[in-house]
Amino acid sequence: MTSQAEMSRPILGETDGFRGRYDTSGEPGKINAETFAGLTMALIDLQHARGFTGDLAVGNDGPNRQGSAELTRGVIKGALARGVNVIYLGTAPTPAIQHVADERRMGALASVSVTASHNDDGDNGWKGMLGNRKPDDTAVAEISRRFWDISEKDGLDLAQLEAHGEVLERQGYVTRKYVGEIVKNIEALYGPRPLADKLFVVDGANGAASVVTPKVFSRLGARVVPFMCNSEGMINDHCGATHLDGVKSFMLSKGASILQDRALIGAVANDGDADRVMAVGVRPGSDTEMADFVDLTGNHEMWALAKDQLGIVGTEYTNSGLTQRLEKAGIGFEPCPNGDRYVTQRLEELQAQRLDWRRGGEFTGHLIDTDWGPSGDGVRAAALYAAHAVAEGKTFADLHEELPLWHEEMRKLPVASKAVRDTLLQQPEVSDRLGEIAAAFQGTCRQIVRASGTELAVRAWVESSNPAAAQHASRLIMNTLLRASRAA
């Protein structure tokens, strides 16, 4: 049972950060500048306690998210109060901020991205990293504990925080150095200008990728048609990696100028902070009124990553169509828990055994290449996947046809509170019923039901080679969760 002390001092966030609705109350533990200052101080204190020194790399996913400027100010004030200099990158993809924090480049004590990733514009978040690496659950709990100690002992009045460091403006770094290193990396793998004269639609989700991804594609030789790459539209609003219908509607609106262009490979879509990528293909013969679009997920992208590899690592959500294809091709596959941090962890465990496994990812489009970085980089992954398609002489639609996947049903049930979310699956009537459903569909469906780590919701995922079976099992699961949540 949760104690009163634990309820008053909840752990703030997960390994992918602390996010929620933007709040201006100043109340500790809410998404406001005061909390972000305290979390930053706690992150720095933890790193100092571990013996690390250096600067703090800071950026955000742009002005199209509520509170971005104010929350970033809170992060900077927290760092300066601890006597740490801030490398300020302005609007920057989370992987670019990690790129700066990498000790092989500028190096940093820690890094913070002010972002709520794929969430809508009313949400914001604090994504703090140890150097350039996401914290594990133990570090998240320790940062949270230190935050509450700071809040209760000293308070978090931003006006009272004295600055003992300086801000180092590096807002041109991302569009210059980071873009340049991605281009250099892709050209080292595929030759000069590997996307020359090919056409790509680039969906920047009105976020941190908006300038960066189109620039990378252009420098690699592509003809680029930008979509939602501006500073005025709302972030992730009918656009981005989790809302592919937006870029499809855009392509339809452009008609023959895109859909009938023989140079078209497809569209790539990043999310708000550009740590993931999805893609859209257009089947041959599609007309300008009813185009036949296909979605390419992380499963398709992992199949491309697996080329010439001994094996890849994927999460428990990796589609069985992919794992079967890998087995048939003689390429190894290692499963791990959900989260790109666990993909990296498993890859590094294999590397410690002197096995040359370097790539993996999630179906959500977080793709890992440890030769490049420890987390998903949606900008570099988009360029890598595009270059792979061109090198193979294929469009994204061709690559989609190359990998038949099992049918997936993905649903989520919003719940009223964190307490309901975290305890719903522990109720005996829920766990027993889910066990019965799993047993009834054993050998036909594979199911995963879990509390969301980023939203007030419980998620259900079912896959099957039989679409009707997956749909039926999914409905039974959601009905079970709905009844229990209403009673909670």
Burial class (CB in 10 A: 0-12, 13-18, 19+), 318: buried
Q: Pairing mode, if any, of strands 311-315 and 86-91?
A: unpaired
Q: How many CB atoms lie within 10 A of CB 449?
A: 22
Q: How many Å apart are CA 314 and CA 323, to the nearest integer?
A: 9
Name which of 103, 123, 122, 119 is nearest 111 in CA terms. 103
80 in Cβ contact with 164 (< 8 Å): yes
CATH assignment, 175-402:
3.40.120.10
- Domain 407-487 fold is TATA-Binding Protein (3.30.310)
pLDDT, position 154: 84
Number of Cα atoms under 13 Å in the Cβ half of residue 63:
5
pTM here is 0.92
CA distances for 326 relative to 164, 246, 279, 381, 463, angstroms: 54, 32, 21, 20, 18
Residue 314, strand partner residues: 335, 361
Burial of 234 (0-12, 13-18, 19+ CB in 10 A): middle
* Range(s) of the chain covered by CATH 3.30.310.50: 407-487
Domain with CATH 3.40.120.10 in the chain: 4-171, 175-402
Q: Tens digit of pLDDT per residue, the chain (488 long)? A: 344 445 578 999 988 899 999 999 999 999 999 999 999 999 999 999 999 999 999 999 999 999 999 999 999 999 999 999 999 999 999 999 999 998 767 779 999 999 999 999 999 999 999 999 999 999 999 999 999 999 999 889 999 999 999 999 998 989 999 999 999 999 999 999 999 999 999 999 999 999 999 999 999 999 999 999 986 789 999 999 999 999 999 999 999 999 999 999 999 999 999 999 999 999 987 677 778 999 999 999 999 999 999 999 999 999 999 999 999 999 999 999 988 999 999 999 999 999 999 999 999 999 999 999 999 999 999 999 999 999 999 999 999 999 999 999 999 999 999 899 989 999 999 999 999 999 999 989 999 999 987 788 999 999 999 999 999 999 999 999 999 999 88
DSSP classification of residue 444: T
Partner residues linked to 68 by β-bridges: none
> What CATH number was assigned to the domain covering residues 4-171?
3.40.120.10
CA atoms of 299 and 360, how far apart (whole Å): 10
The pLDDT score that the predictor gives to residue 418 is 85
Do 58 and 86 form a contact (C-beta atoms < 8 A)? yes
What span, in angstroms and rounded, lies between the C-alpha atoms of 449 and 434?
A: 9
* Contact assessment for residue 388 and residue 304, using Cβ atoms and an 8 Å cutoff: yes
User: Shortest CA distance to 320 belongs to which of 311, 308, 310, 328?
Assistant: 328
pLDDT for the residue 3 = 45
Q: In this predicted structure, what is the pLDDT of residue 99?
A: 92
Instruction: Give the per-residue pLDDT at 104.
Output: 67
